[in-house]
Structure formats: C-alpha cells, structure tokens
Chain A
Amino acid sequence: MSRAALLVLADGRFPAGGHAHSGGAEEAVKAGRITGAADLEDFCRGRLHTAGLVAASLAAAAALGVPARELDAAADARTPSPALRAAARKLGRQLTRAARATWPSDELDALAREFPKGAHQPVVLGLAARAAGLGAEDAAHCAAYESVSGAATATVRLLSLDPFAATGVLARLAPEVDLVADAAVEAAGRVRGEGCGALPAAGAPVLEIGAEVHAGWAVRLFAS
C-alpha cells in the first residue's frame, strides 16, 4: 500500500463534497446542544462510537471485497433517517465521481453503473480505498476520522469556535478513532462467514432525529 494514497483519500480537500455537510452539528448548535469545545468533543465522541463505527465497518468490508449491494442495504437498515440516507447517497455519488477520476478501476465503474443515484458514502469509500491500493484498516481509519472531522470543521464556522480548539478535540479523540477503526476491521472480517449482521449497528437517536428536524428547515448553511 501507499501511505501517500491514504493521505490523498483522507484529505479534507479531496473533492468529494464533504465540506457541505456538518454531520449533525448545525442542528445541534441551533438546538443549543453544542455551545463550545467541550460539547463538541462530547458530540464527536458519541458520533464516532455510533455512526463512525458503522461507517468504518462498512468501509472496511467494502475494502475487503464484500459486494456493495449487500453493504448498501446494511447501511440503509442502520440509517433510519431518510434525510441521512439521502445525504449518504449524495456524498457517495460525489465520491464515486472523484474516486473514478483519481483511481480508475473496473470496480468503481461497476459501482457507478449499479448505483446511478449513489451508494452510501462509506461503501464507496471502501471501494475507493481498494482502487487506491489501500486496505481495510486504511478505509476504516478514513471513515472513522471523517465521522468526526467534518463536524469539528463545521462547528468552527457555526460557532466561530477557535480552530485550534476544534483541532485539539480531534487530536484528543485520535486514540479512540484508532480503537473504533480496529473494531470495525474486526467486524468486517466476520461478514464473509456471518453475513452483514456481523457489522455493528450502533445508533445515535438524537443524530437521526436531529437530521430530520434539520431537513425541515427552510434555510440551512449545511446540507446535513
């Protein structure tokens, strides 16, 4: 594998549209659940161990070659909010386009044909990692880190939070990101024998409910 390829895929500037999404932070800020760096850390930690763990395991399983169709259905079942399912597919479509241009591969072409409206983003991320010559661990790390980095960046804009404080949150979460990625890879490795039921299903009720509330707003800074 190429360590530099991992940096390209994980780079926040990778043109896959992630910057337009706040990972639920916009709604949480408006509702007063995030008011500063301490709340942001708590928010990100909860997100990491729920949505982040699920995304990381989907990405790892896709990187291991589990069929995208199965993983996409598993992602649907783990995402009760229709607003979040739509956001995940939109991000998946954008990532498919960027990844195909960056790391041309038959598998990504097939994915684009099979899911013209986009597959769930973590599934695409796993296949993009595969196309880039990366492994399941890399894919899981990317997904787990993305599950918190987007919310942290968005909160800087939403609250005019000190960017150093937000980066400090991410640095403090780094050991937990590693643990979540490890757990995700372990679960993904069991999918071949046990099916997609082996994937974690950790849910965050307030994130799901908040996403629906957010989708009902007339004016939003972020798409989700």
Chain B
Amino acid sequence: MTTAGGGVRARARILARHRAPGGTFLPVLESDGPLALRRTRAGGDEARVVLVGAMSGPLGGDRFEVEAEADTGARLRVQSAAATLALPGQSKSEARYDVRVRVADRAELCWLPEPLISVRGSDLRVRTDVDVAPGGRLVLREEQVLGRAGEEPGRLVSRLTVRTGGLCVLDQEVACGPGAPGGWDGPAVLAGHRAVGQVVVVRPEFGERPVAAGRIGDLCVVMPLAGPAALVSAVAADGLRLRRLLDEGLAAIG
C-alpha cells in the first residue's frame, strides 16, 4: 500500500491452483492495506476467500485493485465480509476500483461480493474485467446501491466486461448520480430505483444449450447472452429486494 497524490493505492491478489486429488490451494493470497484477504474453511474442493475491509473506503483519490485468478481445474469462491462504501475523500479527484478476474480451462470462479454503496458526495469509477477460458465456468454478481437509506447517491460509473474464449459476451456500463449523463434516474435507465445489479454466468454448455429468457419479477429478467453465457439483470427499490431477485434469477438458471 502506498499513499500518494491524496489517495491510497492498494493491490490485492489471489491465485487459486488445483492440487490432486480433489483440492484447490492458494499459492498467492496477498492483502494490501485496506484490502485484506482471509482464507475461510473450504467447501469440498473449493477454496474460499473473504475480502475484509480493513479501513473504510474507497475514498476520493484512492486507487484499489483486486486480481483473482483460478488456474486450470481450480475452484475458487470470493466473497466480502460487508458492503463496500464509496465515500467522499479529502481529494477532489475520483476514486478507482479495478477488479480483474481470470478463469482458466476447467476452472470455476464464483465472485460474490456484498453490494457497493455509493454514498453522497463520493465519486467512484469501477472497472471489472473478466476473462474466462473456453472450458472455464464463472458466476459473478455485482450490486450497486445508490446512497444509504434515504440519502442521495454519489457519482458512480461502473463498467463490466466479460470475455470468454476471446469473444466479448458482455460489455455494460452504468453511470448514475450527480454529474452522470442526463436521464440516468428516468424511465429508461433506473426509473427511480435505488438498487441495480446483475449476475453473469458463464458455462461452456450454454454455447449449445442457451438458457431460456424469462421474467423473474417486476423488473428482473434472465437473458441468454450472445455466447456461452447468461445474465440476470434487475433493478429494485433497495439492496435487500435486489438480492432476492438476483438469487431467484440465479436459481432459475439452475
């Protein structure tokens, strides 16, 4: 961790590797300052890691990076202990949070953090970049909550890019809060909802047997993407309702 230019720079890394017979170990588990990683009890042959916020943040000017990689045949689940709060900082500049996820052939990675809450006055840009090898499997959830209870949100721009076998199957950016392009809160984009989220699922078998599109709730659907992947997309009044919808959508995918 370094502090420079009015913000904290931190980079955490996880590497999961398959070890015969039937196990996954973590040759790399690097925490850094506010990004603390804890290994928790494994479930079967799956290694589990919890991201624990050791400080508050990200604050304005901070630059966080998390890298998670599941090597050939490894199974890794990453969760977080609590919601991430994007907070205003001393620095006037935006905060950055970059997540890079790599899933190798026959590996499976579940990236299931708690929501990101955009607090009033914060300014955060999130970039999530995912690469899945042709035989790899992924479940990745992201949830954004606009403001704490009854609070206006900060500015949040979050882009999620998922590639599998070199093909980009999903590239979506959501921008909201003060300074976001007009209409973000209007009837085409978030329609006044305060929570927005998605779960993307990549499985090789979806290439031949895509999931069926279906409606889960009022504003939640399951959609087959153009490639071996599916997406649950939802907006809701709050984070709890959003989670329920996304869980239901994920269950519908099976």
* Residues of A near any B CB (own CB < 8 A): 24, 28, 33-34, 39, 42-51, 53, 73-74, 76-83, 85, 176, 196-197, 200-210, 212-213, 215-216
Contacts and interface: CB of A to CB of B under 8 A. Distances in A.
B188 A73 contact: no
Contacts, number: 130
Contact of A209 (B182, B186, B224, B233): B233
B182 A205 contact: no
Which label, helix, strand, loop or mixed, suits the secondary structure of the B interface? strand
Contact of A205 (B168, B169, B196): B196
B173 to A, nearest CB: 4
Interface residues of B, number: 38
Given A203-B172, A213-B215, A46 B167 contact: no
A139 B224 CA distance: 30
Given A28-B188, A204-B189, A216 B183 contact: no
A81 B188 CA distance: 14
Contacts of B188: 24, 28, 42-47, 50-51, 204, 206-207
A31 B170 CA distance: 27
Given A85-B226, A206-B189, A43 B183 contact: yes
A79 B169 CA distance: 9
Given A34-B187, A42-B183, A206-B191, 15 more contacts: A28-B187, A42-B186, A42-B188, A50-B181, A50-B183, A74-B168, A77-B171, A80-B233, A197-B168, A201-B159, A201-B161, A204-B188, A204-B189, A205-B189, A212-B213
Interface in B219-249: 219-221, 223-227, 231, 233-235
B153 to A, nearest CB: 15
B182 A45 contact: yes
B52 interface: no
A36 B133 CA distance: 48
Contacts of A76: 169, 225-227
A190 to B, nearest CB: 15
Interface of B: 159, 161, 167-175, 181-184, 186-191, 193, 196, 198, 213, 215, 219-221, 223-227, 231, 233-235
B168 A73 contact: yes
A201 B172 contact: yes
Nearest to B219: A209
A39 B187 CA distance: 7
Contacts of B161: 77, 197, 201
A197 to B, nearest CB: 7
A46 B168 contact: no
Given A42-B183, A49-B182, A82-B223, A207 B189 contact: yes
A46 B186 contact: yes
Contacts of B224: 82
Contact of A42 (B167, B171, B187, B198): B187
Contact of B170 (A34, A77, A197): A77
Contacts of B193: 206
B183 A48 contact: yes
A81 B221 CA distance: 9
B223 A81 contact: yes
B170 A212 contact: no
A205 B233 contact: yes
Contact of B186 (A45, A196, A200, A205): A45
Nearest to B163: A77
Which of A24, A80, A176 neighbours the largest number of chain B CB atoms within 10 Å of its CB?
A: A80
A206 to B, nearest CB: 5
Contacts of B174: 203, 205
A74 B193 CA distance: 28
Contacts of A45: 182-183, 186, 188
B189 A208 contact: no
Which of B169, B182, B193 neighbours the largest number of chain A CB atoms within 10 Å of its CB?
A: B182
Which of B174, B181, B231, B233 neighbours the largest number of chain A CB atoms within 10 Å of its CB?
A: B181
B187 A203 contact: no
A10 B189 CA distance: 25
Contacts of A200: 173
Contacts of A212: 213, 215, 221, 223
14 contacts: A28-B187, A39-B186, A43-B183, A46-B183, A47-B183, A49-B184, A51-B188, A53-B181, A76-B226, A81-B223, A197-B171, A204-B189, A205-B233, A206-B193
